[in-house]
Amino acid sequence: MAAHDQSNGDSKLANGETTYFATNPRPASLDEHISSLAPFIADHVRKHSRVALVTSGGTTVPLENQTVRFIDNFSAGTRGATSAEYFLENGYAVIFLHRQFSLLPYSRHFSHSTNCFLDYMTTSSTGEVVIDGEYQAQMASVLQKYERAKREKMLLLLPFTSVNEYLWHLREIAMLMRPLGANGLFYLAAAVSDFFIPAERMVEHKIQSSEDFAHANHGTTSSTAQEERSPAAHMDGAKLVIDLDPVPKFLKQLVDVWSPKSMIVSFKLETDPSILAEKSRYALKKYSHDLVIGNMLNTRKHEVLFVSAAGGDQWIRVPTARRSKSVTAATMSEVRQATEMPLEIESLIVPEVARLHSEIISNGRSR
């Protein structure tokens, strides 16, 4: 859709986009990331591969420009990292846009656990460091898949930390992915901040908590617009007061303008089960994309709700006997029943997403 064709609401959004990207700084890492993204995407355009952008982990909201304190969003990156592996298994090339130091595809099996990485190793009788026998088979199988993804140039890892870095990357990647046409897929599993501090209201230095140093908090916004808008985080006596702006929702821009031919999948996270379906349907209607995957904080590892214009509402569930003990120890009887190998829900989600993607590629979209 051309910018001049947009209705009032859309042009407001386009203006919001222009304002956001004109007033919030382009991340220093972006140019370097583009230099690996551009050949990666061009290679897969040439091969007619399907390419999934998987976003993963939580974005931060810095309170200071030279950041000591920040607000974080919940997400370990499990959904994204696990899904990325299944996309690779289903023949997709994957751009993995992730929160720095969150879970990564393949290494997730051995990181962020109660084991330290040294616990996977042992010293042989000749003094060499080797993988402990207990982990040999699992590690060999994961390593093979990881090496293959690297060898065949199917996986590109790109880190972000703040919500600003995330949004700049999302826009840039979306536009770079346009030549993929319908072969592009956006799988937006990252937990994106809804509120933030715009650059013009961000203080430059660490906010001083001691009243004795309160004078250092004055006149320290990083922007030249500091006279126009008051700093978003400041001390009021002994209290820290934070006044956040809404993060513009760019999903509509992504769907209509940045990457209109790709399949777009968003996630909806809720904690109240009574509103999950309604909120997911609302998001689908509002952004007119292809699929919303609704999930509840406490049950997200064993059930999700697919909401799409084409397929209506559809629950995907891991059978009780295949649920991982550590995640779903809801009742002891369920845990005892879990006699078979645990099944990751992403192994059910991703093939279903790929199937819907195939429908879009062969029949055109339904949105």
The one-letter amino acid code at 245 reads D
Least spacing, CB of residue 103 vs ligand PMT, in Å = 7
Q: C-beta of 247: minimal distance to ligand PMT in Å?
A: 4
Choose between 190 and 338: whose C-beta lies nearer to ligand PMT: 190
Please, what is the minimum distance in Å from the beta carbon of residue 1 to ligand PMT? 18
- What interhelical angle do 163-176 and 8-23 show, nearest 10? 120
Smallest gap from residue 23 Cβ to ligand PMT (A): 16
Output the smallest distance, CB 75 to ligand PMT, in A.
Answer: 4
Given the complex with ligand PMT, which of 142 and 283 has the nearer CB atom?
A: 283
Distance in angstroms (rounded) separating the CA atoms of residues 169 and 173: 6
Q: Kindly tell me which of 262 and 295 has the beta carbon lying closer to ligand PMT.
A: 295
Residue 181: Cβ-neighbour burial (10 angstroms; 0-12, 13-18, 19+): middle
Residue 345 CB, shortest distance to ligand PMT, in Å, is: 10
Does residue 247 contact residue 164 with C-beta atoms inside 8 Å? no
Report whether 291 contacts 52 (CB < 8 A): no
Q: Concatenated DSSP letters for 108-173?
A: GGTSSSSS-GGGGEEE-TTS-EEE-GGGHHHHHHHHHHHHHHHHTT-EEEEEE-BHHHHHHHHHHH
Q: Is the CB of residue 367 less than 8 Å from the CB of residue 107? A: no
Residues in contact with ligand PMT by CB under 6 A are 75-79, 188-192, 194, 247, 249-251, 266-269, 295, 300
The residue type found at 240 is L
Strand (E) or helix (H) holding 85 = helix 78-89
CA-nearest of 318, 92, 121 to 183 is 92
The nearest distance, CB 249 to ligand PMT, in angstroms, is 4
Question: By the 8 A CB rule, do 110 and 89 touch?
Answer: no
- Residue with smaller CB distance to ligand PMT, 249 or 261: 249
Cβ proximity to ligand PMT: between 40 and 186 the closer is 186
Please report the DSSP string for 251-287 in residue order.
HHHIIIIISTTSEEEEEEEES-GGGHHHHHHHHHHHH
For ligand PMT, give the closer residue by CB, 119 or 245: 245
CB 188 to ligand PMT: min, Å? 4
| Residue closer to ligand PMT, measured from CB, 220 or 268 | 268
Nearer to ligand PMT, 183 or 295 (CB): 295
Which residue in 246, 243, 223, 224 sits closest to 235, CA to CA? Answer: 243
